[in-house]
Homo-oligomer: A and B are copies of this chain.
Amino acid sequence: MKILIFGNTFRPEAALSALRLATFLQDKHVDIWIEKGFYDFLNLQNHAFPLVYQSFEKVPELADFALSIGGDGTFLNTAMHIGSSKIPILGINTGRLGFLADVADNELEIVLDQIINNEYFIEERTVLELQTTHQDWNPSSFALNEIALLKQDSSSMIAIQVKVNGEELNTYRADGLIIATPTGSTAYSMSVGGPIVVPQANNFILAPVASHSLNIRPLIIPDNWELEVQVKSRTNSFLVALDGRSSVFDQPEILHIRKAGYSIRVVKQAHHTFFNTLKNKLMWGVDKRTEKSFNA
């Protein structure tokens, strides 16, 4: 068995988890490869790491699993590296529970045993792809959560003209527009009023940020529909952010957004259903205000 390790290079806790992980997997004779950036971070942390582990810059083929140690942000970064290679990813949170990094650090050994014993399931997550006409996009043109088109600092508002399957949908006048996957429905899109979409729904969400028109609402479309987007701003430039990795674009630029040809495969424990994560993360059922009203 060959396992890839990715991790948050800002959290010392991630290094400690990685160390425990390494010790545990060594006993199981698992072949461990550590992503270069995280590998360097681990060495800097001065934990005497066994030398038997390899580092890599480009994701090696034929790995069985990738482990992401950190939070949801680290998971997004891991997913970017994994790309279309189909390697299933397990998200371990070193801090608070995440939607993607939903394995608690202290359950690490139990969950790895389950994985080694084939006790897990795979959830396929849709990915968005961005295609540009004039400008290149680096380092990846794929997003697991969302593609956001946003005004730049100096601009007061942008006009985002959206065509869906060639048909004019609307010109959003707003601070921005978020195109999100179901995975992204609980991230940035939710902060601007977007609905929660279960991972199994084949949808994209279009949710404006601070729309200047009051009768605009988040829109749900099938995920096999394609978008063509043009942005106009006074400053002639705007931001494009894929899972938070942002870059400046200049007008005129035509952006094509569609479902990617691959999906990200997330490793889930048997009881880690989406509904359970929702309840834990959003504290459904524990709102203090709720109770009083019903009990008077």
Contacts and interface: CB of A to CB of B under 8 A. Distances in A.
Interface of A: 8, 10-11, 70-74, 93, 95-98, 101, 150, 152-154, 156-157, 159, 164, 167-171, 173-175, 182, 185-188, 190-198, 200-203, 205, 209-222, 239, 244, 246, 248, 273, 275, 278-285, 287-296
A290 B195 contact: no
A165 B196 CA distance: 17
B213 A292 contact: no
A191 B211 contact: yes
Contacts of A290: 173, 212-213
A83 B157 CA distance: 25
A191 B212 contact: yes
Given A197-B220, A217-B190, A217-B214, A71 B296 contact: yes
A153 B153 contact: yes
A272 to B, nearest CB: 12
A195 B171 contact: no
A68 to B, nearest CB: 11
Q: Which 5 A-B pairs have the closest CB atoms?
A: A73-B296, A213-B287, A214-B215, A195-B218, A191-B210
17 contacts: A8-B296, A72-B293, A73-B293, A97-B288, A153-B239, A156-B296, A157-B294, A159-B294, A169-B275, A192-B210, A198-B220, A201-B221, A202-B222, A209-B210, A214-B282, A214-B287, A216-B282
A96 B211 CA distance: 18
A293 B95 CA distance: 11
Nearest to A197: B220
Given A97-B292, A197-B220, 19 more contacts: A71-B295, A72-B293, A72-B296, A73-B293, A93-B292, A96-B288, A96-B291, A185-B220, A187-B293, A188-B210, A190-B217, A193-B193, A198-B220, A200-B222, A214-B214, A214-B289, A216-B282, A280-B288, A282-B288
